[in-house]
Structure 1
């Protein structure tokens, strides 16, 4: 039987992935808007790409972990039914 904790962990990792991607996108759009309004230095925008990259990396890693946790739960459920 699949543990409810495993399903909760998979859904929480999926939420982390979505929120991290949204945060990185919001940060990127905000920096571009500030640059277009001439309220930000281009060097600051280039440096902020590091923050955006880290946010996207966290989103990808948590999405991959969510997928792996779901697969591990399914594999454990399958092995619970074998002798």
Structure 2
């Protein structure tokens, strides 16, 4: 990613689960062997207790379910 050494980021994230809406870009986490790595996804559905996001922007089939929190958590089995 460009300019990452100076603290900038090419993405603008929504970290407030109370304001999540479809189309928001979020940083999410994955459990298991991918724990600790940051991922970027776009919310496609927002529910009271979970969200559904696209993990790959060019693949509408890449929908995964995550928790509804500032950085949603997705099960590793759902992304592999």
TM-score, length-scaled by structure 1:
0.20
Q: Which has the higher contact order (CA 8 A, sep 6+)?
A: 1
Determine which structure has the larger strand proportion and give its number.
Answer: 2
Determine which structure has the larger helix proportion and give its number.
Answer: 1
